[in-house]
């Protein structure tokens, strides 16, 4: 398997695809193929009108996410590789959505600021204090890399309010799987493990 062959076929996967629940692995090399992947992730993010996108949202096992708070190509494009979050402060509730659960929104309580350490695509180290919307986005995307959806951060009552919408996604997913449009869990796992062997520290 070659990552190069998959990049143009990438798409944003929807809940409850198993790749969304699978913790990502640290990248140990960044080559031209990873750069192409990052470019493709930005393209998909803009197509879906998002401001952040994690690698497992495109069915890949890497600790990598992209962010552009303006949501369009002329904004500031940020790449975070192997991120670590530290020193959370404050608490604030705000509405969130997710490209992998389109048109579903809910309030999530998160720290107002957090320090993020990571690497840029060129290997430059990132060590900065994220506040405001950036803090919320990097926490949301970092959660994805741990296999956590924003709906799990919602209060029990708020989650119950969207249960019927999540059930609709499950019904759609099961239909696509029966039709053969989505491969089996074991096939997905085998594919992700193969990609990890090429690019990750396992």
Active site residues: 141
- Residue 20's alpha-carbon distances to 79, 128, 129, 164, in angstroms, are 19, 27, 27, 20
Q: Count of alpha carbons within 13 Å of 101, Cβ hemisphere only?
A: 24
Euclidean distance between CA atoms 93 and 179, whole angstroms: 40
User: Position of tokens 């990132």?
Assistant: 126
Euclidean distance between CA atoms 48 and 182, whole angstroms: 20
CA angle 194, 31, 44 (to 5 degrees): 75
Tokens standing for 138? Answer: 């990097």
Contact 99, 51 (CB under 8 A): no
Tokens standing for 89? Answer: 């402060």
Strands 52-54 and 64-67: antiparallel
- Say how many residues make up the chain: 202
């Amino acid at each position: 398997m070659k990552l190069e062959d998959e990049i143009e076929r990438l798409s944003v996967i929807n809940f409850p695809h198993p790749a969304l629940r699978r913790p990502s692995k640290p990248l140990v090399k960044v080559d031209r193929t990873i750069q192409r992947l990052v470019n493709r992730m930005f393209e998909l993010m803009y197509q879906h009108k998002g401001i952040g996108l994690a690698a497992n949202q495109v069915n890949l096992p890497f600790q990598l996410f992209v962010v552009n708070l303006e949501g369009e190509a002329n904004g500031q494009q940020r790449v975070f590789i192997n991120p670590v979050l530290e020193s959370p402060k404050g608490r604030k509730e705000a509405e969130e959505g997710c490209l992998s659960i389109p048109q579903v929104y809910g309030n999530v309580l998160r720290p107002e600021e957090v320090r993020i350490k990571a690497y840029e695509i060129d290997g430059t180290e990132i060590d900065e204090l994220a506040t405001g919307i950036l803090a919320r986005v990097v926490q949301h995307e970092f959660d994805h890399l741990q296999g956590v959806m924003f709906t799990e951060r919602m209060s029990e009552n708020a989650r119950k309010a969207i249960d019927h919408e999540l059930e609709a996604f499950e019904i759609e997913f099961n239909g696509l799987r029966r039709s053969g449009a989505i491969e089996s869990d074991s096939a997905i796992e085998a594919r992700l493990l193969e990609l990890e062997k090429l690019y990750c520290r396992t």
